[in-house]
């Protein structure tokens, strides 16, 4: 048997939840994968430790001071890793010709430009950073098609659907006999809470996800169901699907990761323990399969699988996202930016949990003439939405202060 070709991998967002799981899978297969670059925002100590374990060619941080600290620490440790910093350095390690595979696992809009750089450079892109695709859908998919890049979804639901669809599924689902995509959702920590309790939920409660351990931003998104809304948009782009052909199904056990329903009545599902190393290993090895470190599902222990419809009254973010996708153009980028600002305000104690959906609704309803036909236009829409969201936050704060006397 011939040994597999060595893949050189850039991990964007290596110190995050997905980044760490990616390095865990990579470390299990040194004959297959070599880390080319690791990139993080400000976690310099964590990045230093990862450099000691994985010996990348390049390490990237956001700021010059952190980068200088890391360069010194690496030199003292006798490592030859080059250190660079800033937004352009992220794009450089994503498009470097020595790189085969890019794990896009930065959280939020900050990941857009490097993910796009990987797409333009024809890499194998493992896409965890759903916000990048939500913002730039058409542009991103065009870049992938033009450069013949391989785009493999890492989001567990989209990875599941990818596994359920025929290999050549591009060009519209109907052509392949697919009637519907069934996007499963855990329902988040507040699935059974009353509207009043949800409104007053704290960051700690929102980040305590029942099944998945994730970064704080996506944990809050899972609690508002905005995560499922962003995933609905993500699925439309990845699978050429219309929003009407995607049904969100709340499934509290998070064992069925999503499904495809076909014209003949078949429903194909992908199941597994809720551990992101499964989709990550799938993306790294596709079309082969490798050990991810995840145990096989024990169905006797699971015993039952429940399904219910989502409640868009208690969780309006799901509806807001669907409407943004139906509207098209810059609307998804605007929704995403408003949500990022609102989630940050919530996490820093500046906004009630219930205020997240209010801020997003206020921004997506404001009139605008933004377009999504170039990356500059998308970034302008993103910037505008952030300003609108900040204005709404200020108004909300001053009226609360007045009420509070």
**Site residues (vs ligand NAD, CB under 6 A):** 13-19, 39-41, 43, 62, 105-107, 110, 128-131, 155, 212, 214-215, 217-218, 276
CB nearer to ligand NAD: give 10 or 14.
14
Q: How far is the CB of 183 from Mg ion (least distance, A)?
A: 9
Q: Look at residues 254, 272, 280, 273 and name the one whose alpha carbon lies nearest to residue 184.
A: 254
CB nearer to ligand NAD: give 218 or 357.
218
CB nearer to ligand NAD: give 158 or 362.
158
Which span (155-163, 300-308, 337-345, 356-364) binds Mg ion, by CB under 5 A? 155-163
* Proportion of the chain in helix, strand, coil states, percent, rounded to 5: 50, 15, 35
Q: How far is the CB of 212 from Mg ion (least distance, A)?
A: 8
- Alpha-carbon gap, residue 386 to 373, rounded angstroms: 19
| 155 touches Mg ion (CB under 5 A) | yes
CB nearer to ligand NAD: give 87 or 200.
87
| 131 touches Mg ion (CB under 5 A) | no
List the single partner that 15 binds among ligand NAD, Mg ion, none, CB under 5 to 8 Å by kind: ligand NAD
Q: Look at residues 138, 134, 132 and name the one whose alpha carbon lies nearest to residue 117.
A: 132
Number of residues lying near Mg ion (CB under 5 A)? 3
Output b/e per residue, 374-399; b: 16+ Cβ within 10 A.
ebebbbebbebbbebbbebbeebeee
* Pair 42, 53: CB distance under 8 Å: no
Enter the tokens of residue 208.
């305590």
DSSP letter assigned to residue 109? G
Q: How far is the CB of 211 from ligand NAD (least distance, A)?
A: 10
Which span (11-19, 31-39, 148-156, 352-360) binds Mg ion, by CB under 5 A? 148-156
Q: How far is the CB of 157 from Mg ion (least distance, A)?
A: 5
CB nearer to Mg ion: give 211 or 390.
211
DSSP letter assigned to residue 330? T
CB nearer to ligand NAD: give 50 or 388.
50
**Alpha-carbon torsion 181, 187, 192, 194, what sign?**
negative
Which span (92-100, 153-161, 281-289, 348-356) binds Mg ion, by CB under 5 A? 153-161
Question: Which strands, in side-by-side order, build the sheet including 58-61?
Answer: 82-85, 58-61, 33-39, 7-12, 101-104, 124-127, 150-153
Q: How far is the CB of 156 from Mg ion (least distance, A)?
A: 5
Q: Which residues bind Mg ion (CB under 5 A)?
A: 155-157
């Amino acid at each position: 048997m011939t040994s597999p070709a060595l893949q050189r991998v850039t991990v964007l967002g290596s110190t995050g939840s997905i980044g760490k799981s990616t390095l865990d899978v990579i470390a299990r297969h040194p004959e297959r994968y070599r880390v080319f670059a690791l990139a993080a925002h400000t976690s310099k100590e964590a990045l230093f430790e990862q450099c000691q374990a994985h010996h990348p060619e390049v390490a990237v941080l956001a700021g010059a001071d952190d980068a200088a600290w890391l360069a010194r620490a690496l030199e003292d440790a006798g490592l030859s890793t080059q250190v660079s910093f800033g937004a352009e350095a992220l794009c450089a390690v994503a498009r470097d010709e020595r790189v085969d595979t890019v794990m896009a696992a930065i959280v939020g809009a900050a990941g857009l430009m490097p993910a796009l750089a990987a797409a333009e450079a024809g890499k194998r892109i493992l896409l965890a950073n759903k916000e990048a695709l939500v913002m730039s859908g058409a542009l991103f998919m065009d870049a992938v098609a033009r450069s013949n890049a391989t785009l493999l979804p890492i989001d567990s639901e989209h990875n599941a659907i990818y596994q359920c669809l025929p290999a050549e599924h591009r060009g519209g689902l109907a052509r392949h006999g697919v009637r519907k995509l069934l996007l499963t959702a855990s329902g988040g920590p507040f699935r059974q809470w009353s509207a009043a309790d949800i409104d007053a939920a704290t960051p700690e409660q929102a980040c305590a996800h029942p099944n998945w351990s994730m970064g704080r931003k996506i944990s809050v998104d899972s609690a508002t169901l905005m995560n499922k809304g962003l995933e609905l948009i993500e699925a439309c782009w990845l699978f050429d699907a219309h929003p009407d052909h995607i049904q969100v199904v709340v499934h509290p056990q998070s064992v069925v990761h999503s499904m495809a329903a076909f014209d003949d009545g078949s429903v194909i599902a992908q199941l597994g323990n809720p551990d992101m190393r499964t989709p990550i290993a799938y993306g790294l090895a596709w079309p082969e399969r490798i050990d991810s470190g995840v145990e096989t599902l024990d169905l006797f222990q699971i015993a039952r699988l429940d399904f219910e419809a989502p409640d868009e009254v208690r969780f309006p973010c799901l509806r807001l996202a669907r409407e943004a996708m139906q509207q098209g153009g810059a609307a998804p980028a605007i929704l995403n930016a408003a949500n990022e600002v609102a989630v940050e305000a919530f996490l820093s104690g500046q906004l009630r949990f219930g205020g997240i959906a209010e801020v997003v609704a206020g921004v997506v309803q404001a009139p605008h003439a933004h377009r999504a036909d170039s990356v500059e236009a998308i970034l302008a829409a993103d910037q505008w939405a952030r300003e609108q969201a900040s204005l709404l936050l200020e108004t909300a704060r001053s009226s609360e202060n007045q009420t509070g006397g």
